[in-house]
Amino acid sequence: MAAATLARVSIPSRVIIVCPKHTAGGAHWAVAPHPLWALPGGHVESDPELARRLAERVTDLALDAEAHRAEHAIEVQLPILARLAPHAKVVGMVLRDGDLRRLGRFADEMAGVLAELPERPLLVISTDMNHYEDDDRTRALDRLALEAIEALDPARLYETVFRNGISMCGVLPAVLVMETLRRLGCLNRCERVGYRTSADSGGDRQHVVGYAGMLFA
């Protein structure tokens, strides 16, 4: 799903991947300071200067390597980006905790930084959908979340996920990116590239994970 979605995009020189923070170490909101992401047989460049500007301008966002040490939701996107856009520099950001008010302030401040850049970076949300329930229930719950996303309503997405107990780990990154795009005048339509669960790959139908590819413009 990730590869099919990114293949539909003209990838610019900068990419910001925003993902959930699954581990306890480091700051709860953290942008990676690294100059490089290491891959087997190669690497992907980052942009430490952009990371520093974001940390300076966004309240409570730390320039923190420890928060990224054991995180996986950025690294799974890197081989795809390396193949599709070897020229692109990738900044990684993790989020853990936050309500709509704080996420709205984050979006205000991040949009202010991005609006000053000569070229807008691609914003990538890295998240699974619902986790480890049976296939039918996962599809039903994910449908509720995806309807909120397709309605271009980040507040509805936030409320839907928490009200229905949907284990979409990256709901905060999704809300943040949608709110940031709205402030940049870029949240005008949403196209669903596809939706699958792990059962579609021949897996167990009783404990599945949902995956969706969505494009915003």
> How much of the chain exceeds pLDDT 70, in percent?
100
Contacts of 180 (CB under 8 A, 6+ apart): 106, 107, 110, 111, 114, 123
Other beta carbons within 10 Å of 159: 13
Lowest mean pLDDT among 39-43, 51-55, 168-172, 178-182: 39-43
pLDDT for residue 25 is more than 80: yes
> pLDDT (tens digit, 9 = 90+) per residue, 116-161?
999 999 999 999 999 999 999 999 999 999 999 999 999 999 999 9
Residues contacting residue 56 through CB under 8 Å, at least 6 positions apart: none
Distance CA 25, CA 197 (A): 30
81-114 pLDDT, tens digit each:
999 999 999 999 999 999 999 999 999 999 999 9
User: Measuring CA to CA, how many Å separate 46 from each of 14, 118, 128, 129, 209?
Assistant: 8, 17, 24, 27, 29
Question: How far is Cα 90 from Cα 145, in angstroms, rounded to an integer?
Answer: 27
Torsion, CA 162, CA 163, CA 164, CA 167, rounded to 10: 10
Distance separating alpha carbons of residues 148 and 70, to the nearest angstrom: 31
Element (DSSP H or E) covering residue 33: none
Beta carbons of 125 and 181 less than 8 angstroms apart: no
* Residue 203 pLDDT: 77
Say whether pLDDT at 202 is over 90. Answer: no
Write down the CATH superfamily of domain 2-216: LigB-like (3.40.830.10)
